[in-house]
Amino acid sequence: MLNTLKDVDVVVAFHMGPTMARALEALGKRVLLGVYASDADELIEALRQHGL
């Protein structure tokens, strides 16, 4: 999973453990936890709410 995420700046996660979240943050990734979107419009709105 970490190899897949090497080229992204933001990780949007509905369910992720604290160890993985801290590891991603240590790699300089911004982690948004508890984000659920049923379609692309909801995901875009969630990102906007976080200033992205």
* Dihedrals phi, psi of 41, to nearest 5 degrees: -65, -40
d(CA 48, CA 5): 21
* Dihedrals phi, psi of 10, to nearest 5 degrees: -125, 135
Q: From residue 9, give the alpha-carbon distance in Å to each of 33, 49.
A: 14, 17
pLDDT at position 5: 75
Number of domains in the chain: 1
The model's pLDDT over 3-31, given as tens digits with 9 standing for 90+, comes to 777 788 888 877 788 888 888 889 888 88
d(CA 38, CA 23): 27
Domain housing 8: 4-49
